[in-house]
Amino acid sequence: MQVWALDGIAEVAAGDDLATIIGDALAADAEGVVDGDILVVTSKIVSKAEGRQLAASDREDAITAETVRVVAVRGTTRIVENRLGVVGAAAGVDASNTPEGTILLLPIDPDASARALCAALRERFGVRLGIVVSDTLGRAWRIGQTDIAIGAAGMRVVDDLRGETDAQGRPLVVTVPVVADEIASAGDLVKGKATGRPVAVVRGLSRYVTDEIDTPGARTLPRTGEHDMFRLGTDEAIGMGRQVGYADGFAAGRASRD
């Protein structure tokens, strides 16, 4: 597997045609384009092309607007589920690598953005390309961030090993490597955050690239709802339990005196 960042992508502005910009950078790249290449595109430039920029003074309101559910709050940190189903801080509203005084919302529909990019670039280069739209996300129980996939097209996002066997011939029953997230992380290692190189090319994983463009996208990766064992922060859940318990206890306490 080879992973490198594309040079020559200038600052992206609202209304820019991202497929042309990335296509031109690809066309100029010495490595060329090969069937099965996967492009990791930083969501920030997708957002910029979509005009998702707001004034920084609107940040708190923007986080609220992008939030479908508050998971936990501590101090000024809000862990929320955003429109895309992704649970993280600040709903993905971002203030780095944006012009001074502005913030950036996540793309409207990153899977759709990935499909559009995938279609345009496959058409232009005549080969099967996969697209990952990446974002930087914190994690429960681990410090810092890694890059993950919030959009994908033209590729499988998971390598479902259920049904396959390990080297001893036994079923790999519960293993579902989320290759789209791992590819986003690999891309981050070459793009960096401070270098202004927002697109990486990953070569050597053509086994995940599909003939179809419209594949199950990154929207299938969040796990929320009934399977989510961490739908609330611990303090929030204890507080909710206390309220219910208090009401039950109060009624029982009164009754105990009858």
Residues 153-172 that bind a second copy (CB under 8 A): 158, 161, 164-168, 170, 172
Binding mask 21-60 for a second copy (x = CB under 8 A): ----------------------------------------
Binding test (CB under 8 A) with a second copy, winner from 8, 51, 216, 249:
249
DSSP designation for 220: G
**Closer by beta carbon to a second copy, 123 or else 240:** 240
Specify which residues 147 forms β-bridges with: 136
Pairing of strands 53-55, 199-203: unpaired
DSSP designation for 6: P
Provide the 10 A C-beta neighbour count for residue 28: 10
Provide the 10 A C-beta neighbour count for residue 235: 11
Q: 132 and 208 in contact (C-beta within 8 Å)?
A: no
By CB under 8 A, what part of segment 76-135 binds a second copy? Answer: 79, 81, 86-87, 95-100
**Closer by beta carbon to a second copy, 8 or else 177:** 177
Give the binding range for a second copy (CB under 8 A) out of 23-31, 108-116, 126-134, 232-240: 232-240
Give the nearest distance from C-beta 154 to a second copy in angstroms: 17
Binding residues with a second copy: total (CB under 8 A): 92
Give the nearest distance from C-beta 163 to a second copy in angstroms: 11
d(CA 44, CA 46): 5
CA angle 28, 32, 114 (to 5 degrees): 85
Which among 36, 41, 35 has a CA at the least distance from the CA of 6?
41
Binding test (CB under 8 A) with a second copy, winner from 8, 32, 51, 204:
204
d(CA 199, CA 133): 9
d(CA 224, CA 152): 19
Give the nearest distance from C-beta 130 to a second copy in angstroms: 13
Give the nearest distance from C-beta 68 to a second copy in angstroms: 13
Give the binding range for a second copy (CB under 8 A) out of 14-22, 62-70, 107-115, 179-187: 179-187
Give the nearest distance from C-beta 216 to a second copy in angstroms: 11
Helix-helix angle 18-28:110-125, to 10 degrees? 50
Binding test (CB under 8 A) with a second copy, winner from 16, 178, 206, 210:
178
Binding test (CB under 8 A) with a second copy, winner from 117, 121, 131, 186:
186
Binding test (CB under 8 A) with a second copy, winner from 176, 212, 214, 216:
176
Measure Cα distances from 101 to 46, 49, 104 in Å: 19, 18, 11
**Closer by beta carbon to a second copy, 50 or else 81:** 81
